[in-house]
Amino acid sequence: MSKASSIIAASTYPTKRREPETPETAGSHSAFPDALLAGFAASGAAIALFDPADRLVFTSEGMRRIYNIQPGCASFDDIMRHCHATRTGPRFSVDIETWLSNARQKRRSAPYRSFEIDMVDGSWFWSSETTYDGGWVLLFVTDITPLKTNESLLRLARDLAQQAADTDALTGLLNRRHVMSVFSYKTLEAGERGTAFSVALIDLDHFKTINDRFGHAAGDKVLCHFAELAKQKIRDTDTLARIGGEEFMLLMPGVRLQRAVDIVERIREAVSRSAPVAGIDLSYTLSAGIAECIGECPEELFQRADKALYRAKQAGRNRTEAAR
Cβ neighbours of residue 36 closer than 8 Å, sequence gap 6 or more: 7
**Contacting residues for 106 by C-beta, under 8 A, at least 6 apart:** 113
Lowest-confidence pick of 54-63, 205-214, 273-282: 273-282
Burial of 214 (C-beta count, 10 Å sphere; 0-12/13-18/19+) = middle
Catalytic residue among 21, 246, 292, 321: 246
Q: What is the pLDDT of residue 40?
A: 66
Query: For 167-322, which CATH superfamily applies?
Result: Reverse transcriptase/Diguanylate cyclase domain (3.30.70.270)
Q: Give residue-wise pLDDT tens across range 73-122.
A: 999 999 999 999 999 999 999 999 999 999 999 999 999 999 999 999 99
**Quick one: fold of 3-148?**
Beta-Lactamase (3.30.450)
Where does the chain hold its CATH 3.30.70.270 domain(s)? 167-322
Residue-level pLDDT at 53: 94
For 4-58, what is each residue's pLDDT tens digit? 333 333 333 333 334 444 433 434 444 566 666 666 666 668 899 999 999 999 8
pLDDT in tens, 278-312: 677 788 999 999 999 999 999 999 999 999 999 99
pLDDT value for 12:
30
Contacts of 253 (CB under 8 A, 6+ apart): 186, 190, 195, 196, 197, 237, 238
- Assign 234 to helix, strand or coil: coil
Task: Kindly report, as residue ranges, where domains of CATH 3.30.450.20 are found in the chain.
Answer: 3-148
Catalytic status, residue 299: no
